[in-house]
Amino acid sequence: MDSTPARPPAASLPLAEDGYPAAGGVTRRPAGAAESARANRGWWDAAAPAYLAEHGSDLGDADFLWCPEGLREADAHLLGEVAGRRVLEIGCGSAPCSRWLRTAGAAPVALDVSGGMLARAAELNRSTGIAVPLLQADAGALPLADASVDLACSAFGGLPFVADATAVLRDVARVLRPGGRLVASVNHPMRWPMPDSPDPADLRVVSSYFDRAPYVETDDAGATVYVEHHRTIGDWVRAVVGAGFVLSDLIEPEWTPGRTETWGQWSPERGALMPGTLIFVAHLPG
C-alpha cells in the first residue's frame, strides 16, 4: 500500500520564477511505482508551459531529437526503416517525434503520462496538420494489445521516471512483435554523481555513482511532487536483457559540431569533455 502523502492537484503546485514547479524540499530516498507515476504526472502537467517555452523551438513541431547533444533520427537512422511500421513512442511530450515519424510514413502512437503535455500535442496536431494518435497512460501499464507494434522508441521519455525499469521494458516487449526494435535515450548515468550544472568547472564527483536512491522533490507539506530514478550503465543493460531484448548497441552521442544550445546541465563546453546521454538499441528475438 502506498502510504506517501497525496500530491496536490497540478493546478495547485506553486511555480518558481522560471515557471517550473517550486520544490519545498529535496531528498534522496526510496520511491515506488505508484508514488513516482503520481508525482511526475502532476509535475509535468504543471511544468509543460515552461518546458515547452524553453525547449520547444529546439524540439520542433515535427522533428525527432534524440538528446540535448543534437543527434536527430533523420541523421542517425537508429530506428531503421520506419515507413509502413506501427511505432509506439513512450514519453512523447508534445509529440514532435511522432509527427516526424508520421511524415516519414510510419503509423505512430504517442503516449505520455501528462495530460498537460498531451494538450499541447493536440494543439500541434491541429496547427501542423500532422495528426498522430495521442494516448495518456503510465509507461508501466501500456494499454496496447500483445504484439501490436513493430517499433518502440523513447527520447528522454518516461524511462528515467519509473521505479521498475525492467517491469516497464517487459511490458514494452509484450506489445512488440517478434523481432521488434526498441531504441531509447536516457540521462547518461555518469551525470548522476556530478552537480547539475553546464559549467565544466563543476565536473567533480559529489555523490556516489552507486547510490541508487531516487531524487525526490516535495512540497512544503511533504507531499511528493517529482521523482527521478538513477541506474548505472550495468543496471540499464541488465534491465534491457532481463526484459527479453537482445542488446545490439550502446551509443554515447558526441556533441554536434556548431550546436550552441545549453539544456540544463548539457552544454557545448561540458559536452566536449564527457557524455551526457546513453542510447540503447535492442530488439526481440524472432
pLDDT score for 22: 93
pLDDT score for 8: 38
Q: How would residue 140 be classed by pLDDT, with cut points 50, 70 and 90? A: confident
Bridge partners, 186 (sequence order)? 278
Confidence (pTM):
0.94
Tens of pLDDT, residue by residue over 205-243, are 999 999 999 999 999 889 999 999 999 999 999 999 999
CA dihedral 28, 29, 34, 36 (to 10 degrees): 10
Mean pLDDT calculated for residue range 57-81: 98
Residue 195 φ/ψ region, left for φ over 0, alpha for ψ in the -120 to 50 degree band, beta for the rest? beta
pLDDT score for 3: 40
Mean pLDDT calculated for residue range 82-96: 98
H/E stretch holding 283 reads strand 277-283
pLDDT at 4 over 70: no
Q: Hey, what's the cell of 200?
A: 565544466
pLDDT score for 1: 36
pLDDT score for 10: 43
* Mean pLDDT, all residues of the chain: 94
The CA–CA distances, whole Å, from 166 to 139, 169, 190, 237 equal 12, 5, 20, 10
